[in-house]
Amino acid sequence: MSRAKVFITRRLPNIDLARLHQIAEVETWEEKQPPPYSILLDKVKQIDGLLCLLTDAIDKQIIETATSLKVISQMAVGYDNIDVATATARGIPVGNTPGVLTNATADLTWALLMAAARRIVEAEKFVRAGQWQTWEPTLLLGADLNGSTLGIVGFGRIGQAVARRAQGFDMKILYYSRHRKELALERSLGLEYAELSTLLSESDFVTLHASLSAETSHLINDRAFELMKSSAILINTARGGIVDPSALERALKNNQIAGAALDVTDPEPIPLDSPLLKLDNVIITPHIGSASYQTRAKMAQMAVDNLIAGLEAKRLPNCVNYEVYH
């Protein structure tokens, strides 16, 4: 019997692929940039298993071209780059890596929130530019966290981990999500459910943690910015597409909000001529929410475990379309 064929779209961090090599012929795309779409389209014609990243567009055409594909395993929790409906229609399970990156991403969210509140990036540039002459009463003033209101949009694993971190900062916490959570959870975290419009108008910090879908695309738009306080800071470590980038630019230029800290943009990478990169009150990091050594190693292991399960026709340990098994 011929061995299964697998394509991995980028070299994985710190992982032993011995077990995978025992059961499959493995080809890894070794370049720094993702495989171009035309190459991916060609590669999938022959394969049984695909291990991909959020930078790969696994659309209808790719999935329908991959006639022998038995599993799609994504090394990320978000999977908005994959046409899951088409995969499901073809009986292909799609795996992802939830949970192991929750704390790392919540930590990064918190780092961005604090950096924006206290203007850390501006302050650091100020020192390096030789502008630090003396202690000044009005130098680089920022916002207090203590006593302020944090608004969390999307209350899943990461949203909740962000709320847990807020406990130590004596903040009022509002959350908005597709489904209101149990009272016991709300009470244990000391938070209140609010409609999105209320959350936007009452929060000093608005942090986004919803998954990207047709429903959440441009959820934060001109109307949302109109509702926000002029002193508010927007943090986005979820997906760039949740925010309308033109509306964000207008809101920052017109002082409708005070600042933004973004780990994700639309598009990614952000073009160097983006007006956002010219603004001092915007911090942008290159989608590094889960980028710790330990977390990335766990994500890679989970992705390989999902891949192997799919090749062996077993249920994926973490699957986003379990309905393929019914």
Residue 239 annotated as catalytic: yes
* Shortest Å, Cβ 172 to ligand NAP: 20
* Shortest Å, Cβ 222 to ligand GLV: 26
Residue 122 annotated as catalytic: no
Which of 122, 190, 114, 106 is closest to 145 using CA atoms?
114
**Residue span binding ligand GLV (CB under 6 A) among the ranges 76-84, 164-172, 202-210, 277-285:** 76-84
- Among the listed residues 66, 101, 121, 191, the single contact to ligand GLV using CB under 6 A: 101
* From the list ligand GLV, ligand NAP, none, partner contacted by residue 177 (C-beta under 5 to 8 A by kind): ligand NAP
244 binds ligand NAP (CB under 6 A): no
- Among the listed residues 77, 113, 247, 282, the single contact to ligand NAP using CB under 6 A: 77
* From the list ligand GLV, ligand NAP, none, partner contacted by residue 237 (C-beta under 5 to 8 A by kind): ligand NAP
- Kind plus residue range of the DSSP H or E element containing 305: helix 293-311
Alpha helix positions (H), 148-221: 157-166, 183-189, 196-202
Between vectors from CA 318 to CA 309 and to CA 2, what angle results, nearest 5°? 20
Choose, from 10, 119, 239, 296, the residue flagged as catalytic: 239
Q: At what angle do helices 293-311 and 102-117 cross, to 10 degrees?
A: 140
Residue 31 annotated as catalytic: no
SS3 percent helix, strand, coil of the chain, rounded to 5, is 35, 15, 45
**Residue span binding ligand GLV (CB under 6 A) among the ranges 20-28, 39-47, 72-80, 274-282:** 72-80
Residue of closest CB approach to ligand NAP: 156
- Active-site annotation, residues: 239, 268, 287
